[in-house]
Amino acid sequence: MSFVLWKPCYCIGDSKIDNQHRSLVSLLNFLYDRVQAACPKRLIDRVLMELVRYAEEHFQDEEDLMERIGFPELEHHRREHERLLMEVFAFKEKFDHGFATKMELLHFLRDWLINHVIDEDLKIRRYL
Ligand SMILES: [Fe+2]
Whichever domain contains 76, its CATH number is: 1.20.120.50
**41 CA from centroid of ligand 1 (Å):** 28
Mean pLDDT of successive 10-residue stretches along the chain, which has 128 residues: 94 98 97 95 96 98 98 98 98 97 97 97 97
The residue segments making up the domain with residue 118 are 14-127
The predicted model scores a pTM of 0.94
Q: 39 in a domain, yes or no?
A: yes
**35 CA from centroid of ligand 1 (Å):** 26
What is the predicted pLDDT for the residue at 86? 98
Number of domains in the chain: 1
What is the predicted pLDDT for the residue at 70? 97
What is the predicted pLDDT for the residue at 1? 79
- Which residues line ion ligand 1, judged by CB < 5 Å? 62, 121
Listed in sequence order, the residues at least 6 apart from 125 whose beta carbon sits closer than 8 Å to its beta carbon are 11, 12, 13
**40 CA from centroid of ligand 1 (Å):** 31
